[in-house]
């Protein structure tokens, strides 16, 4: 056994230790195989241990591992160039976790408020949202369980009901500098807003002269279909954050913004590992894999097949279905999601119980036809 009391535990986990992964599968110490629909929490967009990432890591590790923040490195510039071209947001800053990228977004919004909005600082977020676990983001997050945790709360945030444009408009005050939303609320259990919500927020922010921040840490990098979820509404946020899928399993995250918003002065921001050569070389390999010719079409076909599979299961078992692309929820008629997750685990299927009545499915974006059949068989048996 490799497990020890020395490692702090933040949540309950099943007993086995995972030792190996390949594509959609994980293996434990007993060499038991699991079909993994959690994939590192919507992180492994290319599945477990993809060849392209191993190659990128090996190539960059032998070239130069770490140049540090004092000097330029190639992968950071290459990845910034690719991401800005793909998003139309022409300034990019890197970090190592989603929370860190969101912290940069908040700092940038507050700095911009100081310079251009007479000191406006407040960021409106939404109920049930998830933005990260730093002190500030615990305060920004709309999860009920974060309310009152680690007092005193960091000031400057207010929560508004999700998918409610009127409530958002009513909440905007002279102190408000930005609205921060997830295009689809992931941790809340894959909550998809009414079509037009993002477009409405865009118009509202334009009218009020405040910033729209899209937290695409979960929805970005093809997870919901298009490379970035906001593209499905043909709008562009002022600031976008990426994490999870950007490194496909390696911790790299990014903030992207319009050039005019790049108002940090020297010393305002930084980070020992910000724009790390090794991490950015992996991000670049991920972007290349997701944007190679034919990849988007292939993803669309696979996502459609996955959606149809879920609708078949839902019809058979009386469940609700919601989601987009490769981010889905099955809504159970009873609050038994944890039980179903545990039964699935016994059968070698990994699922996430996002809510008492919600199973969340986050397959890799390159899952294969034969695997779809296997998923259907396993889910049918479990349900």
Residue burial 180-196, b: 16+ Cβ < 10 Å; e: rest? bbbbbbbbbbbbbbeee
CB atoms within 10 A of CB 308: 12
* 306 a catalytic residue: no
Q: How far is the CB of 355 from ligand PLP (least distance, A)?
A: 15
Q: Does 217 bind ligand PLP (CB under 6 A)?
A: yes
* Residue among 111, 146, 228, 244 flagged as catalytic: 244
Name the residue nearer to ligand PLP (CB basis): 218 or 371: 218
Nearest to 224 by CA among 206, 244, 200, 250: 244
Question: Could you tell me which stretch among 97-105, 267-275, 286-294, 360-368 binds ligand PLP (CB under 6 A)?
Answer: 97-105
Among 316, 353, 348, which Cα is nearest to 334's?
A: 353
Residue 71 Cβ vs ligand PLP, minimum distance, rounded to whole Å: 26
* Cβ-closest position to ligand PLP: 98
Contact 354, 184 (CB under 8 A): no
Q: Which of 130, 146, 157, 306 is catalytic?
A: 130
- C-alpha distances out from residue 195 to 15, 40, 141, 301, Å: 42, 29, 23, 22
Residue with Cβ nearer ligand PLP (120 or 184): 184
User: Does residue 103 touch ligand PLP according to CB under 6 A?
Assistant: no
Nearer to ligand PLP, 188 or 382 (CB): 188
Residues that bind ligand PLP (rule: CB under 6 A) add up to a total of 15
Is 126 a residue that touches ligand PLP (CB under 6 A)? Answer: no
Indicate the pairing of strand 352-355 with strand 358-361: antiparallel
Using the contact rule CB under 6 A, the part of the chain among 29-37, 92-100, 109-117, 340-348 near ligand PLP is 92-100
Residues 6+ apart with CB under 8 A from 150: 135, 138
Smaller CB distance to ligand PLP: residue 50 or 142? Answer: 142
Our CB check for ligand PLP shows the closer of 34 and 130 to be 130
- Comparing CB distances to ligand PLP, the nearer of 254 and 379 is 254
Minimum CB–partner distance for residue 243 and ligand PLP (Å): 5
Sheet containing strand 358-361, edge to edge, reads 320-324, 327-331, 358-361, 352-355
The one among 44, 60, 87, 97 contacting ligand PLP by CB under 6 A: 97
Could you give the CA distance from residue 95 to residue 274 in angstroms, rounded to a whole number? 5
Q: Which stretch binds ligand PLP (CB under 6 A): 46-54, 124-132, 196-204, 362-370?
A: 124-132
Give the pair of three-digit tokens for residue 380: 């049918």
Residue 158 to residue 156: CA distance in whole angstroms: 7
Instruction: Sketch the per residue contact string, 225 through 244, with ligand PLP: x for CB under 6 A, - otherwise.
Output: ------------------xx
Assess contact for 201 and 165: CB atoms under 8 A.
yes
**Near ligand PLP in 148-207, by CB under 6 A:** 182, 186-187
157 is catalytic: no
Is 244 considered catalytic here?
A: yes
Q: How far is the CB of 316 from ligand PLP (least distance, A)?
A: 30
Query: E strands along the chain, which residues?
Result: 18-22, 25-28, 33-36, 91-95, 122-126, 157-160, 176-181, 211-215, 239-242, 253-257, 320-324, 327-331, 349-350, 352-355, 358-361
- Our CB check for ligand PLP shows the closer of 172 and 190 to be 190
Shortest Å distance, C-beta 266 to ligand PLP: 26
Give least dist CB 186 to ligand PLP, A. 5
Q: Which residue pairs, CB below 8 angstroms and at least 24 apart, start in 58-65?
A: 59/281, 60/277, 60/278, 60/281, 60/282, 61/278, 64/277, 65/277, 65/278
Q: Which residues of the chain form contacts with ligand PLP (CB under 6 A)?
A: 97-99, 102, 130-132, 182, 186-187, 215, 217-218, 243-244
What are the catalytic residues?
Answer: 130, 215, 244
């Amino acid at each position: 056994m490799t497990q020890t009391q020395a490692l702090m535990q933040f949540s309950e986990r099943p007993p086995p230790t995972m030792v190996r992964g390949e594509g959609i599968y994980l293996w434990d110490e007993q060499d038991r195989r699991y079909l993994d629909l959690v994939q590192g929490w919507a992180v492994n967009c290319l599945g477990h241990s993809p060849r392209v990432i191993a190659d990128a890591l090996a190539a960059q590790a032998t070239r130069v591992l770490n140049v540090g923040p004092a000097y330029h490195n190639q992968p950071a510039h290459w990845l910034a160039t690719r991401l800005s071209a793909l998003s139309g947001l022409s300034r990019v800053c890197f970090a190592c976790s989603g929370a860190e990228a969101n912290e940069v977004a908040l700092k940038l919004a507050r700095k911009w408020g100081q310079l251009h909005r007479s000191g406006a600082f407040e960021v409106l977020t939404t109920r049930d949202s998830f933005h990260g676990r730093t002190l500030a983001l615990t305060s920004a997050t709309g999860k009920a369980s974060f309310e009152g945790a680690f007092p005193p709360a960091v000031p400057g945030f207010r929560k508004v009901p999700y998918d409610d444009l009127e409530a958002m408009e009513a909440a905007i005050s002279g102190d408000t500098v930005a609205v921060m939303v997830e295009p689809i609320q992931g941790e809340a259990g894959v909550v998809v807003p009414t079509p037009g919500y993002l477009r409405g927020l865009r118009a509202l922010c334009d009218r009020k002269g405040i910033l729209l921040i899209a937290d695409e840490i979960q929805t970005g990098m093809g997870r919901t279909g298009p490379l970035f979820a906001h593209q499905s509404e043909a709008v562009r946020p002022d600031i976008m954050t990426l994490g999870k899928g950007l490194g496909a399993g390696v911790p790299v995250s990014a903030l992207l913004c319009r050039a005019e918003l790049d108002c940090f002065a020297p010393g305002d921001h930084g980070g020992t590992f910000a724009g790390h050569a090794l991490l950015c070389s992996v991000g670049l390999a991920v972007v290349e894999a997701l944007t190679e010719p034919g990849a988007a079409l292939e993803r669309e076909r696979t996502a459609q097949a996955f959606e149809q599979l879920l609708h078949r299961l839902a019809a058979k078992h009386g469940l609700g279905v919601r989601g987009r692309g490769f981010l889905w929820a099955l809504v159970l008629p009873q609050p038994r999601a944890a039980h179903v997750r545990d039964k699935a685990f016994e059968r070698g299927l990994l699922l996430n119980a996002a809510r008492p009545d919600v199973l969340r499915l986050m397959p890799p974006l390159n899952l294969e036809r034969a695997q779809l059949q296997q998923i259907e068989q396993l889910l049918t048996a479990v349900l």
